[in-house]
Structure 1
Amino acid sequence: MMLSKRFTRSILSILLCGAAAVAGSASAKQFKYAIGFPPGSYNVVMAEDYAKRVKTYTQGRHTVRVFPMTLLNMAETSAGVRDGIADIGFLLTPYFPAEYPHANLVNEASMMLRLMGDEVRGKEASAFVGALTEFTFFNCVECHQEFAKQNSVYTGHVGGSSYGLICNKPVKNEADLKGKRLRAGAANWSRWSTAVGASPITMSANEMREALSQGVVDCIILSTPEIHNFGLMDAITDITMAVPGGIFSTAGFNMNTSAWRSLSVDDRKAFLRAAAEGGAYTPWIYQQKENEILAEAKKKGVRLHDADPALVKKTQAFIEQDMGTISKYFADKHGVKRGEQMITTFRPILQKWVKLVQPVSSQEQLGQLYWNEIYSKVDVTKHGMQTAP
Structure 2
Amino acid sequence: MHSLKRTRVTRIALPLAVTGTLLAGAADARTLSYATGYAPQSIGAEAGNAFADAMADYSDDALSVKVYPQSLLSFSETPSGVRDGMADIGLVLTPYFPAEFPSTNLAAEVSMLLELTDAPADTAGLAYAGAMSEYLFNHCPECTGEFEAQNQVFIGGGGTSPYMMLCNTPVRNLEELEGKRVRIGGAQWSRWAEDLGASPVSVPQHETYEALSQGVVDCTIHSAPELTIVKLMEVVSDITTGAPGGVFAGVGNTVNQDAWASLSEDERNAVLHASAVLSAELSWGYAEAARDNMQTAEELDRVTIHDASDALKERTRAFIRQDLDNMAATYAEKYDVNNAGDMIETFRPILEKWVSLVDGVDSSDALAELYWQEVFSKVDVGRHGL
What is the CA–CA distance in structure 2 between the aligned matches of 1:332 and 1:203, rounded to whole Å?
Answer: 26
Determine whether 1:342 maps to 2:330. Answer: no
Residue equivalent to 2:133: 133
Q: Structure 1 residues 182, 69: closer, same or farther in 2, change over 3 A? A: farther
| 2:140 counterpart of 1:144 | no
Q: Aligned pair count?
A: 367
Question: Is the aligned partner of 1:91 residue 2:84?
Answer: no
Q: Which amino acid aligns with 2:46?
A: V
Partner of 2:272: 272
1:172 Cα deviation from its structure 2 partner: 2.4
- Once structures 1 and 2 are overlaid, which stretch shifts more, 51-60 or 167-176? 167-176
Inter-partner Cα distance in structure 2 for 1:208 and 1:90: 23
Q: Distance in 1 between matches of 2:314 and 2:218?
A: 22
* Residue type of the alignment partner of 2:236: I
Displacement after TM superposition at 1:214 (Å) = 4.8
Normalised TM-score (structure 2): 0.87
- When the two chains are superposed, the root-mean-square deviation of aligned CA atoms in Å is 2.4
Residue in structure 2 matched with residue 162 of structure 1 by the alignment: 162
Cα drift, residue 175 of structure 1: 3.7
Matches of 2:178 and 2:80, distance apart in 1 = 37
Q: Is the 8 Å Cα contact of residues 37 and 73 (structure 2) preserved in structure 1?
A: yes
Aligned to 1:48: 49
- Higher Cα radius of gyration: 1
Q: Distance in 1 between matches of 2:230 and 2:261?
A: 34
Query: Does the 8 Å CA contact 2:94/2:252 hold for their aligned counterparts?
Result: no
Report the Cα distance in structure 2 between the residues aligned to 1:139 and 1:72, rounded to whole angstroms. 30
Deviation at 1:371?
0.6
Distance (whole Å) between structure 2 residues aligned to residue 164 and residue 241 of structure 1: 5
Letter in 2 for 1:26: D
User: Does structure 2 conserve the Cα–Cα contact (< 8 Å) formed by 1:281 and 1:363?
Assistant: yes
Is the CA contact (8 Å cut-off) linking 1:41 and 1:230 kept in structure 2?
A: no
Please tell me whether the aligned partners of residues 38 and 230 of structure 1 are also in contact (alpha carbons under 8 angstroms).
Answer: no
The change in CA–CA distance for 1:76 and 1:173 in structure 2 (over 3 A counts) is: farther
1:223 to partner: Cα distance: 1.1
Specify whether residues 196 and 339 from structure 1 end up closer, same or farther in structure 2 by C-alpha distance, changes over 3 A only: same
**How far did residue 178 of structure 1 move?**
3.6
**Contact 1:94 1:185 (8 Å CA) reproduced:** no
What amino acid sits opposite 1:264 in the alignment?
Answer: S
State the AA in 1 paired with 2:160: G
In the TM superposition, residue 79 of structure 1 has moved relative to its aligned partner by 2.4
Q: Deviations over 1:78-124 (max 9, x none)?
A: 2222233322222111121111110011111111111113x544321
CA distance in 2, matches of 1:236, 1:80: 37
The SS at the match of 1:89 is strand
Please give the alpha-carbon distance, in whole angstroms, between the structure 1 residues aligned to 2:350 and 2:84. Answer: 34
1:200 match: 200
For the residue of structure 1 that corresponds to 2:171, the secondary structure is coil
Query: In the aligned structure 2, how far is the partner of 1:367 from the partner of 1:343?
Result: 26
SS at match of 2:220: strand
CA distance in 1, matches of 2:210, 2:75: 16
State the one-letter code of the partner of 1:318: F
CA distance in 1, matches of 2:212, 2:147: 33
**Structure 2 CA distance for aligned equivalents of residues 88 and 320 of structure 1:** 37
The correspondence of residues 148-297 of structure 1 with structure 2, limited to 5 A, is 148-297=148-297
Cα deviations across residues 145-165 of structure 1 (Å, max 9, x unaligned)?
A: 111122211001111111101
Output the amino acid matched with 2:167.
Answer: C
Match of residue 9 from structure 2: none
Q: CA deviation at 1:369?
A: 1.2
Indicate conservation of the 8 Å contact 1:163/1:244, yes or no: yes
Which residue number corresponds to residue 103 of structure 2?
102
Unpaired segments ≥5 residues, structure 1: 1-15
Q: CA deviation at 1:75?
A: 2.5
Alpha-carbon distance in structure 1 between the residues aligned to 2:146 and 2:73: 21
Give the unaligned 5+ runs of structure 2: 1-17
Contact 1:182–1:199 under 8 Å retained in 2: yes
Normalised to the residue count of structure 1, the TM-score between the two structures is 0.86
Q: Using a 3 Å threshold, how does the CA distance of structure 1 residues 198 and 311 change in structure 2: closer, same or farther?
A: same
Higher alpha-carbon deviation: 229-238 or 239-248: 229-238
The 8 Å contact of residues 41 and 228 in structure 1, kept in 2 or not, is answered as: no
| Partner SS, residue 166 of structure 2 | strand
Q: Quick one: which amino acid aligns to residue 57 of structure 1?
A: Y
Residue 215 (structure 1) shift: 4.4
Q: What do residues 114-149 of structure 1 show as CA deviations (whole Å, max 9, x unaligned)?
A: 1113x5443211211111110100110111111112
Shift in Å at residue 65 of structure 1? 2.1
Match of 2:10 in 1: none
> More displaced, 366-375 or 161-170?
161-170
Residue 28 of structure 2 aligns to a residue in which SS? helix
Please report how far the alpha carbon of residue 307 of structure 1 lies from its aligned counterpart in structure 2 after TM superposition: 2.3
| Partner Cα distance (1:272, 1:168) in 2 | 43
1:236 is displaced (CA, Å) by 2.5
Residue 302 of structure 1 is matched in structure 2 by 303
